[in-house]
Amino acid sequence: MGLERPKVFLPLGGVPLLAFTLQPFEACPQVDEILPLVPEEEIAFCQEEIIRRQGLKKVSQTLAGGKERSDSVFRGLQAIEGRADLVIIHDGARPFVSTDLIERAIEGAKQWGAVVAALPTWETVKEVSAAGEVIRTIDRQHLWMIQTPQAFTFSLIWKAYREAREAGFQGTDDATLVERMGFPVRAIEGSRFNLKITTPEDWRLAEAILQMREGIREP
């Protein structure tokens, strides 16, 4: 986004983006506790302007994240070690996750141990060189775009993170660390609305989705 401040604290429809992300977890009956991981300098803002102002009762504590995404998740896992059976991990920049998807991820983790939200790839996929030359067209039949939430039994994801850190391995998502151990991960269908806001174009899409939702709520 090219911003000095993390995008999750910027106002979307007058409300910090992160508030939209946390609200479905607050509303989900199967979620007992929420632990946002944020930059240390944003903890006070998060507690006052997001958690208190939005009335998020399930947030037990706000933790300082680490340098990398995996460092932040590891800190979150450390904080709940010994008192959680299941863990669901979600990107703060995905504000339109639904309670239904959260519930399906949790149920999937109970059944299979490791679950990721994902969507089948509907576009043609090509491998392209650094110079921009098309190398080949890839069969998309078994290609899926991975989202969050991702849900796991605590013992499984905790072991995966500890082993990855010992080996100095960095994955692009949490499930990669589980896959590294040879444990099967199950994909469940996500949602196209569950976009991750990464670019200015994504932000405009988020504003349009929010306007659409607010319009639906009008009598």
Please report the pLDDT score of residue 6 as a whole number. Answer: 86
Query: CA dihedral in degrees (173, 176, 181, 185; nearest 10)?
Result: 100
CATH superfamily of 7-119+145-202: Spore Coat Polysaccharide Biosynthesis Protein SpsA; Chain A (3.90.550.10)
Please report the pLDDT score of residue 217 as a whole number. Answer: 58
Within 13 Å, how many C-alpha atoms sit on residue 29's CB side? 1
| Whole-prediction pTM | 0.92
Question: b/e for 102-120, b at 16 or more Cβ within 10 A?
Answer: bbbbbebbeebbbbbbbee
- Going by their DSSP bridges, the two strands 114-120 and 186-189 should be labelled as parallel
Please report the pLDDT score of residue 1 as a whole number. Answer: 60
Per-residue pLDDT of the chain (219 residues; tens, 9 = 90+): 666 788 999 999 999 999 999 999 999 999 999 999 999 999 999 999 999 999 999 999 999 999 999 999 999 999 999 999 999 999 999 999 999 999 999 999 999 999 999 999 999 999 999 999 999 999 999 999 999 999 999 999 999 999 999 999 999 999 999 999 999 999 999 999 999 999 999 999 999 999 988 776 555
Please report the pLDDT score of residue 143 as a whole number. Answer: 94
